[in-house]
Every structure is written in C-alpha cells, then in structure tokens.
C-alpha cells in the first residue's frame, strides 16, 4: 500500500478492518499488542493477503546481533549489496 497517499491509507485501514483487528490495537506497536492478536495476525494476513495482492508476504529468516550493535536480518543483506 502507498500509505503516504490518502487512497493508500484508506486501503490499509480497509485491510486492517477485514483482518478484524480493533483500531486500538492497530495504533499500537506490534510488541505492545494483545498476545492473542499477535499470535493470529500472521495467519490472518496470509489468508486475506490475496484479496489485496499480497501473495507470499511472510518468509522465514533470521536476525543476528553482536553485543550492543544494530540487528542485521538475513534478508536485508542482499538488498544492501545491490
């Protein structure tokens, strides 16, 4: 979604409404959401993603962190190199 446009924001709000996530939960950081919502949101997005053109939106990956340095995710590295 192009969330920097009004149309994109409306489409995102429509998508979140279709997922059934309450507006109060949508405005929070993911880490602060209810445990039940966090547990189910990935499955909900995969189920309804096709309706919005979001196929293959989740992937398995890993992140690494050395000491107090920034986290580095495996999928981010190829993008940095290109």
Q: Which tens digit of pLDDT belongs to each residue from 8-51?
A: 889 888 888 888 888 888 888 888 888 888 888 888 888 888 88
Q: Report the C-alpha gap between 55 and 48 in whole angstroms.
A: 9
- The pLDDT score that the predictor gives to residue 81 is 79
Q: Report the C-alpha gap between 25 and 29 in whole angstroms.
A: 8
Q: Give the HSE-up count for residue 43: Cα atoms under 13 Å, Cβ half-sphere.
A: 5
pLDDT score of 5 more than 90: yes
């Amino acid at each position: 979604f192009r969330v920097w446009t009004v149309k994109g924001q409306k489409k995102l709000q429509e998508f979140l409404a279709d997922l059934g996530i309450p507006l109060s939960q949508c405005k929070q950081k993911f880490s602060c959401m209810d445990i039940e919502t966090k547990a189910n949101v990935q499955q909900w997005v995969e189920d309804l993603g096709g309706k919005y053109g979001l196929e293959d939106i989740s992937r398995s990956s890993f992140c690494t962190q050395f000491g107090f340095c920034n986290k580095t995710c495996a999928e981010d590295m190829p993008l940095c190199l290109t």
